[in-house]
């Protein structure tokens, strides 16, 4: 039984060490747009246009929208294997506030026969006015 506990503890520790980014704390003052901007570059087949497109995507967030970042790390360069490496990270930004929105819908209304009958009687009472 003790060896099973040791095995489980070792497996959990191995997963924690293998994936440190997933276990790190969320930083509300940082933004990582690398993945978003790399997807943006996939719209071109011209290798010479990929870095300018990445730079276009990886620009400062809109300060008029309330997002002000003081530091930007932007990189689009070729590595030793001839492949492009991208980085687009903002830091020291306006703190991102998370919110939860709950939407409630009105339950469907039931129409009962008495109210329909009452509405028809009221409308028929007004008919002589128009004819």
Q: Which residues contact 70 (CB under 8 A, 6 or more apart)?
A: 91, 92, 93
Number of domains comprising the chain: 1
**What's the domain range around 29?**
24-96
pTM for this predicted structure: 0.53
Burial class (CB in 10 A: 0-12, 13-18, 19+), 41: buried
- 81 vs 20: which has the higher pLDDT: 81
Residue 80 lies in a domain: yes
Q: 78-88: per-residue pLDDT in tens? A: 999 989 999 99
Residue 51 lies in a domain: yes
Can you give the C-alpha Rg of the chain in angstroms? 30
Residue 72 lies in a domain: yes
């Amino acid at each position: 039984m003790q060896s099973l506990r040791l095995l489980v503890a070792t497996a959990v520790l191995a997963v924690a060490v293998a994936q440190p980014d997933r276990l790190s704390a969320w930083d509300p003052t940082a933004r990582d747009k690398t993945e978003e901007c790399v997807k943006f570059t996939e719209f071109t087949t011209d290798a010479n246009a990929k870095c300018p497109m990445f730079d276009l995507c990886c620009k400062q967030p809109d300060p008029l929208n309330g997002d002000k970042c003081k530091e930007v790390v932007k990189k689009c360069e070729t590595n030793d294997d001839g492949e492009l490496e991208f980085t687009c990270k903002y830091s020291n930004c306006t703190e991102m506030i998370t919110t939860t929105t709950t939407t409630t819908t009105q339950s469907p209304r039931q129409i009962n026969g008495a109210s329909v009958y009452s509405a028809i009687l009221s409308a028929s009472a007004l008919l002589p006015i128009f004819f």
